[in-house]
Each structure stands twice: as structure tokens, then as C-alpha cells.
Structure 1
Amino acid sequence: MYFAIVAIDRPGMTEVRARTRPAHREYLRTLPDGVVYRLGGPLMASDGATAIGTLLVIEAPDLTTAERFSAGDPYSKADIFAQVSVRAWDWGTGNPDRA
């Protein structure tokens, strides 16, 4: 089952985000059992240069696992986000696993 994780930064988190980014990237490479990272990246401000959040798509067996994965992200642990949404997602268009 796929899940979209959309997280919006609290104001003033640019420096914290930059310091935490290496740990966040490592977290995406060393996933807990049952989680597959599919795609993601920063959400950008309208200037196209400033990160204001994060979008991740993962595969996990259930919502509880996806929420646990999101909570374990170093960005979450650094309290960067004002809000986080974890939602089941039906990856249709562009999914390399579908014909």
C-alpha cells in the first residue's frame, strides 16, 4: 500500500532543515522493515529556491507503519514541521510497477 506524506515547515526552520538534511537522507537509505521509499523531495516556496516542507511517497503494509516511519524521520524529531499528513495514496499515473 502506498502512502503520501506531506509535511509543512514551521516558520524559521531553514537552518534547522539544512543541519538535519544529512540525517534525513540517511534515514531514507536505511529504512525499517516493511517500508519502501519510492520518491520524494522538498516542497518549495513560490520563489522556487526556499524549501517550505517535504513530500514523500512510501510503500508500507498499513497506516500505522507509515505514521511510525514519518515520526521517526529526523526532520520530525527536530520539530521542523508545523503539520504532517499521512494518507493512503493510489499511485496510478507514472507508477513504474503498473502497465
Structure 2
Amino acid sequence: MLFAALCTDNHGALQIRLDTRPTHVAYLDDLNARGILKVAGPFLGDDGKPNGSLVIIEAETKEAATAIFAEDPYAKAGLFASVEVKAWNWVFNKPE
């Protein structure tokens, strides 16, 4: 099953994002290598700077997905003001 994490950064937390990015990318690379990560990238504000994230993974349950998202270095560093985890159905342009 697929799950999306819609993450909103804390106001003024851009430096946390920049400082934590290398370990965040390494974490996502590991999820990708294990076939868990499907899609990921930042939301951008009107100023073009990142202000949140969208991460879509495959997991057995919402609880398992939530646990995976909680281990992301961004989450551990306190970057996010909120994280909403939702089941997601990939309908269009799904890679085979």
C-alpha cells in the first residue's frame, strides 16, 4: 500500500533543512534502494525556497508508514510543524 506524508516546515526553519539535507538524502537513498521510496521532493513557497515536503512510500500499514516517516532526519531534527500521513492511490502515470 502507498502512503504520502505531507509535511509543512516550521516557520523560519530553512537553516535546519539545509543543515540536515545530506542525512535526509542518504535516508531517502536507502529507502529507494530497498524499494520503499516511490516519490519525494520539497514544496516551494512563493519565494522559490523549500517550505515543506511530499514523500510517498510503500508500507504494509499506516502505522508502519508513520514510523518510517518519523525516522527521517528532517523529522528528527524538528524541521516539520506538521506531518499528515494519508493512504494514496497512484492512478495516472504510474511507472510499470
TM-score over 0.5 (shorter chain): yes
How does the TM-score come out when normalised to structure 1?
A: 0.89
Total equivalences in the alignment: 94
- What are structure 2's unaligned runs of at least 5 residues? none
Query: Alpha carbon RMSD of aligned pairs, Å?
Result: 1.3
CA offsets 1:28-76 (integer angstroms, 9 cap, x no match) = 1223xx86101110000023x2100000111111111100011000000
Task: State percent identity of aligned pairs.
Answer: 38
Q: Which residue of 1 aligns with 2:41?
A: 41
Divergent runs of 4+, >4 A: none
Q: Between Structure 1 and Structure 2, which shows a larger proportion of helix residues? A: 2
* Mapped contact 1:35–1:60 kept (Cα < 8 A): no
Structure 1 unmatched ranges of 5 or more: none
TM-score of the superposed pair, with normalisation by structure 2: 0.92
2:70 equivalent in structure 1: 71
